[in-house]
Structures are given as C-alpha cells and as structure tokens.
Amino acid sequence: MESVSVEHEDGTVDLTQRALVGVALDGVRLEQLYWAAARRATLGLVRFSGSAVRLLGVWPVFLRFGPLVGSRRVILGGLMARRSGGTIAWRADGVYAAVEVEGFAPLLRGPLWRLERAFHDLVGGRFLALVARNGPVE
C-alpha cells in the first residue's frame, strides 16, 4: 500500500491510500467496503449510518457527509472536522484501488492529528485488502 498525506497552510489535509489490486468496482460497492473496514477497525464501535460516521451508528456524529455522487461524498462537518469542506472518494479502476480525502479540515492537529492519520492508514489498508478480495461488479 502506498500512503501519501499533505498538510496545507490553511490547515486542510489531503490523504491518499492506494494499492495495485487489479479489480474494478463501482462507487456504491467501494463505499460499502470502506465503511465495513472502518467498522472492523474499531471493533464495531464506529459505524456509517444516515450519511454520517457515528458511535455505534447512533450518536454522536463524528463526520457528516453529503450524498454519494459517483464515488465521492462532500464532507459536511462533525466532531472530527474543524469546519465543513473537502471530499472523500473511492476508486478501483481495474489496476489501482484508492481512497482519497481532499481538502479536509481536521479538528485535531499536531501529535493528535498524527494519530488520526495513522487510523486513516489502518482503515485504508483494510479497505484496499477488501477491494482486492471482492472482484468486479457484474
């Protein structure tokens, strides 16, 4: 897995995890696999429901998202965001699979941000492994 993160002067970040998987999947299936990876990485404590990431799928809202458009969602805010903005997107084009966060303004900074980034790498790695095992959507 290749992981790249960029911190911008305005406090936003871009994160990308990608791997050579040789699988093509649609945006809906990729999103399902990503949230399954997040749920597993947190032993079921963090779940995606109602367009948001929540503790046990109920409350509080850690991150809230706009509707899925293609394979991308806009980040609307939540406890882990300093402000709304940015996107999360998934792709698997038959060669590479990736999860890409662009323009996200995390609440945590400094050493705490490094922990959040490490968690994103963990979830991204699990997501990419799930994509590799899934095969194409017919």
Domain tally, the chain: 1
* DSSP calls for 5-30: EEE-TTS-EEEEEEEE---B--HHHH
Domain span at residue 68 reads 2-134
**DSSP class of residue 57?**
T
pLDDT (tens digit per residue) in 73-98: 999 999 999 999 999 999 999 999 99
pLDDT (tens digit per residue) in 52-71: 999 988 889 999 999 999 99
Report field, pTM of the whole predicted structure over 0.85: yes
CA atoms of 46 and 58, how far apart (whole Å): 9
CATH of the domain at 32: 3.30.530
